[in-house]
Structure 1
Amino acid sequence: MIEPVTQTCSRPERFDALPLRERIIVDQHWRVAHAFDTALPGWLVLVPRRHVTAIHELTDMEAATLGMWQVRLSRALHDVTGCVKTYVAQFAEVEGFAHVHFHVMPRMSDLPQELRGPGVFGLLRQPEQRRVSVGTADEIVHSLRAHLRPDPYAS
């Protein structure tokens, strides 16, 4: 079972102890994790490194890199999973997950019609036996990391 994404904004000392699937890629503003309770392999969560509860609280630098990460993650998901497009969503309303985070989800060509668009959230909060296994998530994570490096904006 994949454990919930840890709120490292409140415990930065634990950041290096997170499994790779909870820190797929990191910069000074953002980190990327694989969703823990989904039946959709490649469902990613883009999380600010500091505690933010609403989009208007993002700094200009966080906002400037947000779009870049959404596009880079979408490209990587396309290359790794073969998805036809990605969905990006942000609500931060579920109890325990009020921290701003962006869902970046691969939309596969064979995704049933009832799970397309907002219906994709039907693949979240799945019972353990339907969730993406740790092994599958780790395979995707390693492939994604290879597609996300090098950072074109790194100095």
Structure 2
Amino acid sequence: MEARFDVLPPRERIASDRHWRVAHATGTSLPGWLVLLPRRHVTAVHDLTDAEAALGALQVRLSRALRTVTGCAKTYTAQFAEAEGFAHVHFHVVPRPEDLPPRLHGPGVFGLLRAPEPERLTADRADHMAHALMAEPGDRQNRVSPGGHPPAHATGRRPIPGTAAGSAAGRSHHRSEHRHAGPSPCGGAGPT
């Protein structure tokens, strides 16, 4: 399946390393709602390897990138792995915009994951957000509005910022077996 990884759309391969892949959630009306997926099938957090479990720093780096790109006030992280069809470990990294209505704060934000079809981000808008997030972290010129377009140089697959692969500019990063392909597991089926 690793061969299929490179043909996934940008929204499905925002960043990756040997253990994790970052995708934009589907079925959401919130630009920048990310899903952090292990590169192998795991059903419970306690089954992560020590190397996979070092994801706290990764969540912080993704949160910083979301703040730079979206201007969000803060980010939420959540992991349940309980919804039918989605009983595998994956973490939601969700930007909370400054102007988000209070009823959607905290767990209420999951209401945006089950957005009505007309309100959902289109694949094109999710790809634009993905390209902006793939751009150099911390570059304020890469900030986009929810409907905006990323800068022209924000293309291609990027390693996860701050990882060995991400800090080794110009080097290709190691890819391990990729078992998740196709749509993000966090689509219209609801939060997990």
- The bucket for the TM-score relative to the shorter chain is 0.7 to 0.9
Deviation at 1:138, TM superposition (A): 1.4
Unpaired segments ≥5 residues, structure 1 = 1-10
TM-score by length of 1: 0.87
Give yes or no for contact 2:9–2:127 (8 Å, CA) kept in 1.
Answer: no
Q: Per chain length, whose mean CA-contact separation is higher, i.e. which structure has more relative contact order (CA < 8 Å, sep 6+)?
A: 2
Higher helix share: 1
Query: C-alpha root-mean-square deviation of aligned residues, in Å?
Result: 1.5
Show the counterpart of 2:15.
Answer: 25
How far does residue 12 in structure 1 lie from its aligned partner after superposition?
4.2
Please say if 1:93 is aligned against 2:71.
Answer: no
- Contact 1:39–1:126 under 8 Å retained in 2: yes
Q: Percent identity?
A: 67
Deviation at 1:127, TM superposition (A): 2.1
1:105 aligns with 2:109: no
Q: Equivalent residue for 1:78?
A: 67
Give the aligned residue type for 1:104: V
Gaps of 5+ in 2: 138-157, 169-192
Asked if the contact 1:42/1:77 (under 8 Å) is kept, the reply is: yes
CA contact (8 A) 1:21 1:138 kept: yes
Name 1:115's counterpart in structure 2.
Answer: 104
Larger Rg: 2
Tell me the TM-score normalised to structure 2 length: 0.71
Deviation at 1:99, TM superposition (A): 1.2
Give the letter for the 1:124 counterpart: L
Corresponding residue pairs, total: 144
Pairing of 1:137-152 with structure 2 (within 5 A): 137-148=126-137, 151-152=161-162
- Residue 52 of structure 2 aligns with which residue? 62
